[in-house]
Amino acid sequence: MTTSRRLADRKSAKFQKNVTKRGSVPETTVKKGNDYPVGPIVLGFFIFVVIGSSLFQIIRTATSGGMA
């Protein structure tokens, strides 16, 4: 047998084994945890930048008399 034929046979056997397991295989193999995609420090920094820049803009607009 050539290498590609052996590889194809191995993949086919693996597929056939999975076919018999249909319905009893878990939905996902990755366990989902209660973990946030970003850390609390990054989230805090983002909120600080957004709120700080909006406050700075409000103060700047108020001191210039509303004329931008």
- Spatial neighbors of 18 by CB under 8 A, at least 6 apart, are 25
Helix residue ranges, H only, 1-68: 3-19, 40-63
State how far the Cα of 38 lies from the Cα of 46, in Å rounded to an integer.
Answer: 11
Spell out the domain ranges in the chain: 38-68
State how far the Cα of 58 lies from the Cα of 18, in Å rounded to an integer.
Answer: 61
Look at the pTM and tell me if it is higher than 0.85.
Answer: no
**pLDDT digit string (tens) for the chain, length 68 residues:** 677 888 898 888 888 877 777 666 566 666 666 667 888 899 999 999 999 999 999 999 999 876 65
